[in-house]
Each structure stands twice: as C-alpha cells, then as structure tokens.
Structure 1
Amino acid sequence: MPEAALAGDVAAPPAPRLFTRPATVASCVAFVLIGMVQALYGPSVPGLRDTYGLSPAGAGLGLSLHFTGGVAGVLAFNAIHSRISNRALLAASYCLMAAGGAGFALAPNWPLALIAAFLGGLGFGGIDYGLNQLFAVGFGARSTAMLNILNAHFGIGAVLGPALVAWLGPGDYAMAFGVCASLSAALILCTGGVRDAASQPPTGQPRPAQGTLVSRVLVGFLVLYILNVAVEAGVGGWEPTHLETVGYGVTFAASATSVYWLMMTVGRFLVVPITLRYAPEVILTVCAAGMTGCLLLALIPGAAPYAYAGVGLFIAPVFPTGLPWLNRALPGAERAGAWVIAASMVGGVAAPPLLGAGIESSGIHAVPWLLAALSAASLAATVWLKRTATAGQAPA
C-alpha cells in the first residue's frame, strides 16, 4: 500500500525541521562513531587480555558493561528529555561518550576500564535514543527515509571499527578508543544546528484508542524489536561457526560474516526510495518474510553464505523503519520510542547466550532452524501489529 494512501483526504502540515543540513551531517557522523565504538570491543579482546591479564570471559565484560550503560542511557535521557533541550541532550551524550572512550583507553586497571565502558555506554544510549527519536519526527514524510540513512551510517562505523584495530594492531586498542573519544568531543561543537520543536502528531493523523489497546500495541512493538535484534545478533555471532561446521574455511567464514554486516548497511541505503512509496508496516512484513526464507535457505550448505547475506539485506530496514510506524500507531505515548530502543539493546545482550544454550543442546547444524524460528515469530508479531494497531486507530 503506498504511503500516500495513509494520509486520507486531510493534508498534514509540514513538520518542522529539527536539524540544519550541517547538523544532519554531524548526526550521521555520530552514528558512524557509535557503530565504531560498539565494534571495537570484540577485536580488542587480545589486547585487553594482554594488558590486564584477563580470561576471554573477563575481557567480554567490557562489551556487556557498554550495553548495560546503553540501556541505562536510553531510559535516563528519555526521563529527562522533557526538561532539557534537544541540543543539551546530544551534547551531554557526546560528552559522556568522549569521557568513556578516553577513560577506557587510559584506565590503569580493569575495574576502572569497566566503569569507563559503562560511562561510554550511557553516552551511546543517549546518542542512539536522541537521534533516532528526533529523526523519527524531524523530517516529516521523509522521516522513515532519513532514519534508514542515519542507521546505515552505524553500519559504516561497524565496518570501520574492526578495520581500525586491524590496522593499528590489537595491542594498540587504546589508540582506537582515543580516536573515537576525540571524534565524540568534536561533535559537541556541532550541536548548534539542532532545534527544539514540539513533536505533536500532525492534524488528521489517526490516534489510537487508549488504555489496554495502547499497552498491547506497545508490548507488540517491544516483542518485535527484541526478536529482530536477537536474529541480527544471532547471525552475527553464530554465522562463522555454522559455516565452519558445514565445511567452509575459517577465513571464508569470517569474510562471509563481514559481508552480512555490509549488507545491513547497503540494505538501509537501498530501502530509502521504497520508504517514500510504501508504508512502514508493509516494508516490515516483507522484510520479516524475506529473513525467514533466507534463514531456511541457510540449511543448504552450498547456499548458506549467500542466504546469510540475504538476511542482512532484509533485516537492515527493520530497526529504523519501525520507529515511524510506532510514532504513528502511538502518537501520544512519548516514552514508547525509548522503551523499544532499550528493548532492542536487551535483545542484543540476551540473544547470544540464549542461542548458545539452544545450540549446545541441538548442535551447530541447528543454527538456521533456531534463527528461522525467531524470525518467523517476528513475522507473526508484525502481522499481529498490522491488524491490532490499524483496528485501534480512529480519525482525530
């Protein structure tokens, strides 16, 4: 269904632009930054182990504290957003990210490094929440397209981060975190082009029924985001092991996983013109069906690398495209965006160990089956949300 059909006969007034063009560019750079920082922790493990004398599990705590700080940052900045300006929210987030990155690079011991990882995570969460929320309402009819462009830059950062560590060497991980800290500090100077405006739903937009229906729709979005991030993290974490198990070499498996992440970035750019023609719920339904089909195709060893790349392409638009749908379905629920962003982070933390438990009992060959089950559940959640959210909307 074309997006234009959703507006009915009432033309909505243009939404105020919250970003100047330089501020929009700076926001995309900020997403490159958070993609880099998140992707630095894994390749830095050998250097962290040498520096602090850690076990592999101990070194992995850095990323866990980063994600924990991210969830806390989303919820904390959402709680105070109504009392501070958009510019102050982003400036504070960049400051925390800079302090955390510098602290992690210079920490004399592992406990202080973990505190710095948590501090940087707070900034990460503020940037993730703040820019996603503002882009979802700040570009009018182009918000879905702009959100996909914004989140595509996260993928660029996720590719650049490991490349930077590979170029410097794991032992020089501190320099990589220092570069990110410096970039974050510089972005504080770029917040002047961020404006404040009330994010009220346009006149003529459907408003949902209140009470129980709102709760059900919000829970549906929470489930959708948790499941999709679980699939995203699950493929990224287990694709190399699965490919090695079915006969591919270690180098090929690692390269195929890089292609998966690259396809997530490409997919967000490719979907931009599609978002201008079709409603978010239509795009998300197609994406969920495509993900599920690709994961089932991954059961065939010869097709598995290409199937995982297909998963990356289909899953790419889900996170950014779902936010405008959420804002339209629950225009009065100001905290809804923060909760789903936080839920996505929880899914990223919880999915790998839970999948690991399932794989331990079922074997590595079960990876596509387990991920396909999660993807099928996300498809069911999407279809349920389409029916429930639409049924609960009435003209204002």
Structure 2
Amino acid sequence: MKSAAADRLFSRSAAVASCVGSILIGMLQSLYGPSIPGLRHEFGLSPSGAGLGLSLHFTGGVAGVLAFNAIHSRISNRALLAWSYALMAAGGAGFALAPNWLLALAAAFLCGLGFGGIAYGLNQLFAVGFGERATAMLNVLHAHFGIGAVLGPGVVAWLGPDDYRYAFGACAVLAAALVLAGSRGVRTQVSDGPPAERGNRGLGLPRVLVGFLVLYILNVAVEAGVGGWEPTHLETIGYSAAMAASTTSVFWLMMTVGRFLVVPITLRHSPERILAVCAAGMTVCLLLTLFKGVAPVAYAGVGLFIAPVFPTGLSWLNKALPQARRAGAWVIAGSMIGGVAAPPLLGVGIEASGIHAVPWLLTALSGASLLATLRLIRLTRRSAS
C-alpha cells in the first residue's frame, strides 16, 4: 500500500533537480570516449592508456555504490546526495585541471565515487519515494540519463576533443550547483516499511536476489554488446562506416525514447509483465539482425525493448524484496561490473567464431535473459504466496 511518507519523500523541485542530476551523470559517463584523442595529445598516451579514464570512473562507480549503501543507514538522504554531488564536482574539476595523467586518473576515480553515490541514491530513493508511481518515475529518471549520454559526445564534438577540459569543467560546475539544489526538498529519512517486513528474511530472499543479479548482468551485457559490436557487425555485412555509426547512435537514442514511451504503460501493467515482453522483444529483434536488409532497424528495436529493463527491474526488486531494500545497491554494482566485463568476453567469443556470430552471441544472452525473467516471475510469486 502506498504510504503518505512515500508521497512526501520528494518535493516537485527535488524531483526536477534529480532529473538534472541524472542528465549530469549520463553526460559525465559519455565524455571519456570522445575525449580520447584530446587526452592522447595532451598526455602522450596510447589508446589503451587513454581508455583507463573510463575504467577508473567505473571502478569508482562500483566503490561508490557499495560505500554509500554501507553508510546510508547512518546518514540522511540529503547528505548522501550532497556528498555524492560534491565528489563529482571535485572529480570533474580535478580531471579538467590535472597537470599529469596520474592525477587525472585519480580525479576520474573520485568522480566515479560520486557517480556511484548518485546512481545508487537516486535509484533507491525513486524506487521507494513515489509509491505506485515508482516504476514510471524510475523510467523518467533513466530517460534523463539517456539525454545526458546523447548530449555528452555532442558537446565534445562542438568544442573539439582538445578542449575536453571545458566539458568536464562545466559538469563540475553543475555538480557543485546540485550540492544544495539537488538535495533540497528531499526528506531526510525513508520509511522502511512495517516491522513484519523488516524482520522477514525468508528462505526465498537469496534466490530472488541472485535471480535479479543474473537478470541485470545479462541485460547490461546485451546493452554493452550491441553498443560495442553493432558498428563492426554492420560494416562486416556490407554497410558503410557512416551508416554503421549512425545506426549505433539510433540504438542509444531509442533507449532514451523507450523509457519515456513506457511511462504510461507502467501505470497499467506490472513490472514483471513489462520485463517479460521486453525480453521477448529483444530476443526477436536480435534474431532479425541476422538478415542484412532489416539489421539496422532490428538493432534500433533492441534499444527500444531494452530501454525499460533497468529502471523497471529496480521497481520490481523493491516490491519483491521489501525487507531488503539495500538489495538495489548490489544489483546496481553488479550491473556496472557486467558492463565492464561483457565487451571483452564477447570479444573472445567473436575471435573464436567471427564477426558474423555477433547476432547469435547476443541472441543467446537475450534468450538467457528471457529465461531468467520467467524464472524470477515464478520465484517472486512463490515468495509472495
């Protein structure tokens, strides 16, 4: 049942500021890749050396999720968000002003800590702070993350890679502004539910939590796999490099559009039903990428179907395990690890089977995600009965 406390967790201005914060973390994550030419020129780096910036950012992100989850019970929601934005502001400014690469990497890690805190904090608070509208609001939140991810490369392209410092500096200024604006209007405490729920540590909890971890790792693997290997696959089957790059941009754009489109659907259908349809739709679209004539459209379809999975799954997790609300932190951290590990692991499979195997490998991952979703539906229904 929706509680009055949940309704008061966010003021309208705080919800808007949170969406701006989601745009910010989407931009920050997407700035590293387009900045690589500028980083190599500035610090004399190899391609792999320049790529360490994003790796340290994600490493900090995982650490930030787990660290803020560990201390959340001892600090207020406002403090969690304020400290996270402050870390991002310090990290972004440090990356923009770093005189050498070691300090830049340290700043990227610091920025990642704040990134992880905001990723954990906003997802957790939106999951419990909007009652029956949580699924819809989580999709709105993640749609704004997508807007930031689309804007970031555009900003670097407009400035030029050698002026990447200005892009990171602007993000630092925005993060500093959100230290106060982003936490104002957020209640200091979240209702933890009735005592019976808090004390209920049923035997189904570990299996359900593991099921959600598997589901998220598989979906992030599909997302990262398409984003990383779609251009190469399309070029291999005969499309131009420009067409392949444009189609990949459409995939990310469809992920943003899909999260807005699903909002009214979340008000009429359960999260588990939405995720089952999404998993089936992804699998069908990935099978269609086997056919050259429809492959670009099919990849766009994957983006549309995968879009609601991350935010809608968090809402489902919160409903399935109300007695373990910190479980979201492990799922978010697991998804980040999956995003780092999936592309190289897929690369091993592609080296063994060839680029033409990309649709089959991704379809296998998506099919496993569909099976994991169906298994979770059975587990959560059994736990509820």
Question: TM-score scaled by structure 2?
Answer: 0.97
Structure 1 consecutive aligned stretches of length 4 or more whose deviation exceeds 6 Å: 205-209
Kept in 1: contact 2:64–2:117 (CA 8 A):
yes
Asked if the contact 1:208–1:330 (Cα under 8 Å) also holds between the matched residues in 2, the reply is no
The 5 Å alignment of 1:287-302 reads: 287-302=278-293
Per-residue CA distance 1:117-175 (angstroms, 9 max, x = gap) = 00000000000000000000101111110000000000000000000000000111111
- Residue by residue over 1:214-262, the C-alpha shift from the partner in whole angstroms, topping out at 9 and shown as x without a partner, is 1010000000001101111110111111111111111111111110000
Count matched residues. Answer: 383
For residue 329 of structure 1, the aligned residue among 311, 320, 323 is 320
2:296 & 2:194 partners in 1: Cα distance? 44
Is 2:191 the partner of 1:199? yes
Partner of 2:172: 181
- The whole-number CA distance in structure 2 between the counterparts of 1:377 and 1:391 is 21
**Which residue pairs with 2:219 in the alignment?**
228
Correspondent of 1:71 among 62, 70, 81: 62
Which amino acid counterpart does residue 101 of structure 2 have in structure 1? W
Letter of the 1:391 partner, please give it.
R
Contact 1:207/1:329 (<8 A) preserved: no
Query: What is the rounded CA distance, in whole Å, between the counterparts of 1:106 and 1:79 in structure 2?
Result: 31
The answer to whether structure 1 residue 87 and structure 2 residue 78 are counterparts is: yes
Conserved in 2, the CA contact under 8 Å of 1:13 and 1:202?
no
Query: 2:52, 2:105 within 8 Å by CA — same for their partners in 1?
Result: yes
- Correspondence for 1:55: 46
User: Distance in 2 between the 1:231 and 1:371 partners?
Assistant: 6
Query: What runs of 5+ residues in structure 1 fail to find an aligned partner?
Result: 1-10
Distance, in Å, in 2 between the alignment partners of 1:327 and 1:370 is 31
- SS of 1:162's partner is helix
Compare 357-366 and 210-219 and name the one that shifted more: 210-219
Deviates more, 1:118-127 or 1:355-364: 355-364
Q: Given the superposition, is the C-alpha separation of residues 55 and 138 from structure 1 closer, same or farther in structure 2, using an over 3 Å criterion?
A: same
Q: Is this contact kept in 1: 2:233–2:355, CA < 8 A?
A: yes
CA contact (8 A) 2:192 2:198 kept: no
Shift of 1:18: 1.1
- Report how far residue 211 of structure 1 moved: 4.4
* TM-score where L is the length of structure 1: 0.94
Q: Aligned equivalents of 1:195 and 1:210: distance in 2?
A: 27
Identity of paired residues, percent? 76
Indicate the residue corresponding to 1:315 in structure 2: 306
- 1:28 and 1:133 map into 2 onto residues whose CA distance is 14
